[in-house]
Amino acid sequence: MVRQRILSGIQPTGNLHLGNYLGAIRNWIDLQQEYDAFLFMADLHAITVPHDPRRLAADTYKVAATYIACGIDPARATIFVQSHLSAHAELAWLFNCLTPLNWLERMIQFKEKAVKQGENVSIGLLDYPVLQAADILLYEPDLVPVGEDQKQHLELTRDIANRLNFQYGSQESPLLKVPEPLIREAGARVMSLSDGTRKMSKSDPSEQSRIDLSDPPEVIIKKIKRAKTDQERGLWFDDPARPECHNLLNLYMLLSQQSKAAVAAECASMGWGQFKPRLGEAMVTALAPIQTRLAELMGDRTYLEGILRQGREKAASVANVTLTRVKDALGYSRPL
C-alpha cells in the first residue's frame, strides 16, 4: 500500500527553540513512521522580513541538522531546502496571478507582522501565504501538520487549489490535490517563559522568553529560575488565571514523558522553589542527546550536504511533475 504523504516546514531564522521541538518536530518524528514525510527549510519565507545575508545559509543548515538531531530519519523522510528548488518560486508566481488580492489582505498574520514592520512592509510579506500554498500543493500531501497560527494559511491553500481546479481542471482529473490541515492540539503549544499567554517565539526580542535548543545547561537552569510565576501555593494544570503555571507543568510533562495525571499528582503540593530545579533538570536531560548529535552534525558538513542533495532530487521529482501539469493547464508552451 502507498503511504500517505505529509509536508511541513520551518523558517530558518534564528535558533530553533523548545516550542519548535515540542510543538512541531516531535510530531513529525511520530508521523514519519506512518507517512511519507517531506520536511523543508522555508528559506524563501525567511526574507519576507529584513534578514542578515551572512547568516541565512548557516541558519538553514543548522535547521536541517536540528531536524536530524531531534530524530527525523533522513532515510525515511525527504529533507530539503526550499530555495534549492526553483519550482516553489515559479508556482508561487503562477498562483499570484490567479489569487485575488483581497484574500491576502485578510490574513491575520500579515496584519500582525505588518504592524510590527511599520514602513518596511514588503510585497513578499503580503505574498507569504501564496508561496506557502505553492510549497504545499507542489507535493500533493494528504496532510499538512502545522500549529494553530497557520490554520488560515492552510485554508487559503485549499481555496487556491479549489479555484484552480474549478477554472483549469476537469471533474475527472483535478489539477491540484486539496490537502487537509493537521492542526496540533493546544496541549502541544509551548508558551513564552515571560508571559504564559503568548507563544514561545523566535521573534520575541527577549532571549529569556524562550529556551533555544542549543542553550547550554547553565543557561537553561538560569532561564527556568527566572521564568515568570505567581504567588499561589501548590501547582495545577488548566487554570486560566495561572497561564504560567500551566505552561511550566506542561513542559515538565512533555520533557519527562509522564502522563498529565502523574505530573499533577507529583506537583500538587509543590512550591516554585521545589518545582523549578526539577523542571530545569528534566529539560537539560531531555536536550542533552539532541545537543550532542547536533554538534556532531554541524561538524560534518559533507554528510549534511549529501542529505540535502538527496532530498532536493527526491523533492524535484515530485515538484516538477506538478509544476508542469499546472503550466500545461494554463496554456504554456513547453521548453524544447
Residues tagged active-site: 113, 199, 202
- The residues in 158-217 that bind ligand TRP, with binding defined as CB under 6 A, are none
Rank residues 96 and 256 by Cβ distance to ligand TRP and give the closer one: 96
Check residue 17 and report its DSSP letter: B
- The amino acid that residue 113 corresponds to is K
Q: Compute and round to an integer the Cα radius of gyration of the chain.
A: 21
Sheet containing strand 143-146, edge to edge, reads 78-81, 36-41, 5-10, 143-146, 180-183
User: Which span (3-11, 56-64, 170-178, 297-305) binds ligand TRP, by CB under 6 A?
Assistant: 3-11
CB of 189 to ligand TRP, least distance (A): 13
Q: Is 64 in the site for ligand TRP (CB under 6 A)?
A: no
Interacting residue with ligand TRP among 16, 136, 190, 251 (CB under 6 A): 136
Is residue 70 within 8 Å of residue 288, measured between CB atoms? no
CA-wise closest residue to 241 among 259, 251, 256, 229:
229
Interacting residue with ligand TRP among 45, 158, 199, 312 (CB under 6 A): 45
**Secondary structure (3-state) at 55:** helix
User: Which span (8-16, 53-61, 68-76, 166-174) binds ligand TRP, by CB under 6 A?
Assistant: 8-16
Beta strand spans in the chain (E): 5-10, 36-41, 78-81, 143-146, 180-183
β-pair type (5-10, 36-41): parallel
Interacting residue with ligand TRP among 60, 132, 209, 250 (CB under 6 A): 132
Q: Is 5 in the site for ligand TRP (CB under 6 A)?
A: no
Check residue 188 and report its DSSP letter: G
Q: Is 9 in the site for ligand TRP (CB under 6 A)?
A: yes
# residues near ligand TRP by CB under 6 A:
12
Interacting residue with ligand TRP among 146, 254, 323, 329 (CB under 6 A): 146
Q: Which residue do the cell numbers 496532510 mark?
A: 143
User: Which span (6-14, 196-204, 272-280, 320-328) binds ligand TRP, by CB under 6 A?
Assistant: 6-14
Q: Is 150 in the site for ligand TRP (CB under 6 A)?
A: yes
Interacting residue with ligand TRP among 5, 6, 8, 72 (CB under 6 A): 8
Residues in contact with 56: Cβ distance below 8 Å, sequence separation at least 6, in sequence order? 12, 43, 46, 47
CA torsion, points 154, 157, 158, 163, in degrees to nearest 10? 160
Q: Is 311 in the site for ligand TRP (CB under 6 A)?
A: no
Interface with ligand TRP by CB under 6 A: which residues? 7-9, 11, 42, 45, 132, 135-136, 144, 146, 150
